[in-house]
Amino acid sequence: MSEAAAVETHGHGAVQADQLEPSLTPGNLGKLGMWTFLAGDAMTFGAGIAAYGALRINNPNWPTPADYLGIATTAVMTFILICSSVTMVESLDGIQHGNQSKFRTFMALTVLGGILFLGMQAHEWHDLLTEKGMSVKRDLFDATFFILTGFHGCHVFGGVVFNSVLLIRGMMGKLTQAKAGLVEVAGLYWHFVDLVWILIFTFIYLI
């Protein structure tokens, strides 16, 4: 009998070896690292949204967002991003059950959703800069809008790259069921990006 299996604690009998194993396995460490990163990132986004609200609430000259921003187009962007969260869930389910075809299909749809979102955001920015005359140098509304949406767009781009790498590894047969934790970590990040966009869409475009 191994020493670990024979250890006795305070008269409660022998403790099994698996009970002595550390709870922070490599997979759990990855999730812990991502949660830690997202906690810090959430405070950054929260500070940005709070600053936007503080600047707007006491400013009588603050423009009406609907006069400049395309609410309908952005609603479509939001819908696409929400759908990409659903496909992310399905891709994780596929890899967890060893269904490579399902994983690749839904991960490809997730990546496509992110690319469509970025493309529509780039088109929106082009119209705002050229047709509406918006600029980060014009006023606080323009500056806060471009900073918040641009910062979020960088996160979406990072998520697209992350998910694309996972998809390519899956297509090469290097992402097996045993490595499903990598997809789970990517999913945490992607769902966070989705949630933050819903908040930005609500506070900047709708309210």
Complete DSSP assignment for 180-203 = HHHHHHHHHHHHHHHHHHHHHIII
| Mean pLDDT rounded to a whole number for the chain | 86
Which range, 6-10, 64-68, 155-159, is most confident? Answer: 155-159
Q: What is the pTM of this model?
A: 0.84
Q: Give per-residue pLDDT as tens, 146-171.
A: 999 999 999 999 999 999 999 999 99
Residue 70 burial (CB count, 10 A): 17
pLDDT score at 161: 97
pLDDT score at 38: 94
Cα(140)–Cα(58) distance, integer angstroms: 12
Cα(10)–Cα(20) distance, integer angstroms: 15
pLDDT score at 65: 83
Query: Alpha helices of the chain — where are they, by DSSP H?
Result: 3-6, 26-57, 71-96, 100-130, 140-171, 180-200
Give the pair of three-digit tokens for residue 59.
């400013």
Domains of the chain, each with CATH number or no CATH: 24-206 (1.20.120.80)
Cα 172 from chain centre: 25
Q: Give per-residue pLDDT as tens, 123-135.
A: 999 999 988 888 8
Q: Is residue 101 scored above 90 in pLDDT?
A: yes
Percent of the chain with pLDDT over 70: 87
Residue 192 burial (CB count, 10 A): 21
pLDDT score at 25: 57
